[in-house]
Amino acid sequence: MRITQKNTKARSRRSGGRNISGEKLRLGVVLAALALTFSAVTARLWYIQVSQHKRYLEIALKQSTGKIPLQAERGTIYDRTGRPVAHNVVRAGVFVSPRSAEDAKAAGRYLDKLFSKRRGYHQREHKITRGKFRWIRRGIDDALARKIRLDAPAGVFVMDESGREYPYGLVGKQILGYTDIDNNGISGVESRFDEDLKGVDGKADIQRDGLRNIYKVDENPLVKPQPGQSLILTVDWEFQEIVEEELRAAVEEFNAQGASALFVDCATGEILSAAHYDPTEKHPGRPSKLKSITDSFEPGSIYKIITAAGVLDGGIATPDRLVYCEKGKWRLGRRTLHDDKELEDVTFHQTISKSSNIGVGKLAIELGGEGLIGVSQKFGIGQKTRVDFPGEQAGVLHTDMRWSDYNIAALSIGHSVTVTPIQMAMAIASIANGGSLYRPHLLRGVVSANGITEDNREAEFVCRTMKSENSELLRAMLEDVVDTGGTAPPTKSAIVSIAGKTGTAEVPRPDGKGYFKNKFIASFVGYFPTDEPKVAGIVIMDRPEPIHYGGYTSGPAFKRMAERYAMANPKQFSPASHQLLVSVDGGVKGKPTPDLMGMDVASAHKKAARAGSAAQGALTEGRIVWQFPPADAPNVSSGPIAALSVPSFTEQVARANNPDGNKNVKIPVLVGLTVRQAAMLLAQMKLQFQIEGIGRITDQIPESGSIISRDETITLRANTVAAS
């Protein structure tokens, strides 16, 4: 038993030792494992936080932030007087940027309910998916924006953005155009100057909290938006509103299918107003073009102003040259040219005032086809004016025609050529300002974001269209167009003096085979006031009924526009400028010029003096055979009356017996006359002359009373220098 016990104790001692050693071993293994784990974690943390810091920072930023564009403020657009005609307003917009598929579904359900749409509408329509930025609706009202901010689920939030507003509504909308939902210019000035107006967008962060369900836009943008530049236009919005109202009234009054108009500053080419009215237009608030710039038409008789300029400058005729007008019917080969009236012998002056196709055609044939093309090109026909507005057309001028007499005559009266309203407005402005053609423009200046005016646009001279002395002669012809014997007596105004040319053109058939005999384009191209032209323009009416003459439709519309603009700008259009005096009772009346015709020189001087004026010019012995202004026409500020007398019969016989004496002439007194009076007087005397400047004559070379040959040239200087 003892042996057994010893053995048992020995085994117990041996077993106990082994248990202690095993526990130590296990503990060591655990400690080693912990050490290894700690080392691995430490190494991993070092790897993540030190070695891969940049990479994991980017991942964290992507998970906790997002980027959205910050829209730059679009520049304001002002008219020439400083009125804001297009500016910005702040509107709220709702967008989504869900982080998960669950957020995307929740956002879709919320928006469907918010905007009363069928379930799944926004999910399908806007493709709401995880991690994608989507605009849902823009320009929402303030109440709805507050509601969304309060109860929107994760992934839906509201942001304020700038939107476009036009304080004058549809007035001038064809000029301004419009912008899309992202404030990008789509048409008009908004499109043409989009890069200047829109500025540069910035960027901002969307911040999320740890639960990723609270969204906000970071107060500090990553990239600060740069606001756009503001524009100052040449347009006078008050005049623009007048023109649009009168176009609409004219279309209704004359049952026309549409109308357009454009007015410019004679001295600079600045566009003061431009509009069209189309009663069938479906979306006037979303204009695609401005027809007074983008559309072309066959001009008809208004083109005679260009032909007349060529005839005068080409030395083909003076205003008093007689032209036989064939009693209204002239056969040219197999073609026939017609007049509305059965005219016989009329002066060149009267071919314009009475609008004789035959008379103008005959003189144009003497000028020749190439000569007519040359003067047309000087006036910019067949070429774009390069106006700063999108969509301009050049029109069509055929320069490679075979020039038969009929082709020349047809072109001279505005057939087989197409023009744009802006081309004709610039042409009449050139005649009104003394023969200088300017490039038309809409942009007057640019205002930077800090409010400093930059890039002020000045008048851009293009070329000389005609001699200034001949422009004065042509202006006198155009004044008579609106007188009793002309084609536009309803255009004559008691408010402001108007001159111009009428046109009534048959509408060409679409197939090119002739013209409709019962459809017409009626037009009037003119300027005002006549003594100091400031504004030139054109009014065109498409197929007025039943009256279709330009002098009785477009002319009266032009008159109403001119009158309203003159009355709205009394400082610019002073009484002296529109040839009126105000009576004691406040009514407006013209001051008539006394009739000196047929009187002897002494009596003419006395009668002019009684009228508060003076007779001046080529006055010696004999009787008065010519005067300007004509009898009963307004005499500006009681200025002198240019007059011409002829010698007595005895003196004429003596001169006839001395042929050499007919080659010499005494220069009349010209200082004090207007440029137009002097030009018409010298033209009547068949003397050569040149004029420098506009206004009244201040100097003449040689002096009055000098005897010169009819081949010599008289130089006249006026008080205002004309553009060269």
Beta strands in 48-191 (DSSP E): 65-70, 77-78, 84-96, 134-140, 156-165
User: Does residue 463 or residue 34 have the better pLDDT?
Assistant: 463
Q: Which residue has the higher pLDDT, 230 or 158?
A: 230
How many whole angstroms separate alpha carbon 521 and alpha carbon 502? 11
Q: Which helix (H) or strand (E) holds 21?
A: helix 2-46
Each residue of 455-477: pLDDT tens digit?
Answer: 677 899 999 999 999 999 999 99
Q: Are 230 and 446 in contact (CB under 8 A)?
A: yes
Q: Write the DSSP symbol of residue 328.
A: G
Among 100-114, 419-433, 506-520, 579-593, the least confident range: 579-593
The mean pLDDT of 178-184, rounded to a whole number, is 86
5: exposed, middle or buried (Cβ count in 10 Å: 0-12, 13-18, 19+):
exposed
Among 91-105, 168-182, 567-581, 676-690, name the one with the lowest average pLDDT: 567-581
Across residues 378-407, what is the average pLDDT? Answer: 95
Q: Kindly indicate the confidence band of residue 680, based on its pLDDT and cuts at 50, 70 and 90.
A: confident
**Which residues contact residue 425 at a Cβ distance below 8 angstroms, ignoring those fewer than 6 apart?**
262, 263, 264, 440, 525, 536, 537, 538
Region for residue 553 given its phi and psi (left: phi exceeds 0; alpha: psi -120 to 50; beta: otherwise): alpha
> Which one of 219-223, 253-257, 446-450 scores highest in mean pLDDT?
253-257
Which of 75-84, 223-232, 426-435 is least confident? 223-232
Q: Is the pLDDT of residue 587 over 50?
A: no
pLDDT for res 356? 96
Gap between the Cα atoms of 435 and 433, Å rounded? 6
Nearest Cα residue to 606 out of 618, 598, 594, 617: 594
Higher pLDDT pick, 506 / 67: 506
pLDDT tops 70 at residue 348? yes
CB 554 within 8 A of CB 540: yes
Provide mean pLDDT across the span 257-261: 97
pLDDT digits (tens, 9 = 90+) for 70-96: 778 899 999 999 899 999 887 788 888
* β-pair type (322-324, 345-347): antiparallel
pLDDT in tens, 141-157: 778 888 888 888 888 87
Q: Which two tokens stand for residue 529?
A: 């006031």
pLDDT, mean of residues 283-310: 95
If DSSP codes are grouped into helix, strand and coil, which group holds residue 363?
A: helix
Distances 195 to 4, 173, 184, 230 between C-alpha atoms, Å: 110, 19, 9, 11
Sign for the CA dihedral angle at 143, 149, 153, 155 comes to positive
Under the banding of pLDDT at 50, 70 and 90, the label for residue 580 is very low
CA neighbours closer than 13 Å in the CB half-sphere of residue 638:
9
The pLDDT of residue 362: 97
Give the confidence band of 112 by pLDDT, cuts at 50, 70, 90. confident
The dihedral region occupied by 382, where left means phi > 0, alpha psi between -120 and 50, and beta the remainder, is left
The confidence score (pLDDT) of residue 579 equals 33
- Of the listed ranges 81-90, 514-523, 573-582, the one predicted with least confidence: 573-582
- Least confident among 138-142, 313-317, 349-353: 138-142
Q: How many helices (H) and strands (E) does the chain have?
A: 21, 33
pLDDT (mean) for 319-339:
93
Torsions phi, psi for 228 (to 5 deg): -80, 170
> Is the predicted pLDDT of residue 411 greater than 70, yes or no?
yes
pLDDT digits (tens, 9 = 90+) for 117-139: 888 888 888 888 887 888 888 87
- pLDDT given at position 60: 59
C-beta of residue 518 within 8 angstroms of C-beta of residue 506: no
**Any alpha helices (H) in 331-481, and if so which ranges?**
348-353, 357-367, 369-378, 405-412, 421-432, 468-481
Q: How much is the pTM?
A: 0.75
Pairing status of strand 615-618 against strand 641-646: parallel
Pull the structure tokens for residue 573. Answer: 């259009």
Mean pLDDT to the nearest integer, 366-375? 97
pLDDT higher at 578 or 426: 426
Residues facing residue 297 across a β-bridge: 419
Task: Indicate the average pLDDT of the chain.
Answer: 84
1: confidence class by pLDDT, cuts 50, 70, 90: very low
DSSP conformation class of 128: -
Residue 348 contacts residue 358 (beta carbons within 8 Å): no
Short-list 696, 669, 693, 682, CA closest to 576: 696
Per-residue confidence at 45, pLDDT binned at 50, 70, 90? confident
DSSP 3-state of 451: coil
Helix H or strand E segment including 305 = helix 304-313
Which regions of 604-720 does DSSP assign to beta strands (E)? Answer: 615-618, 623-628, 641-646, 664-666, 688-692, 694-701, 707-709, 713-720
- Calculate mean pLDDT across residues 576-605: 59
pLDDT (0 to 100) of residue 59: 61
Pairing of strands 588-589, 202-208: unpaired
- The better pLDDT of the pair 68, 459 is held by 459
Q: What would the mean pLDDT of 181-205 be, rounded to a whole number?
A: 87
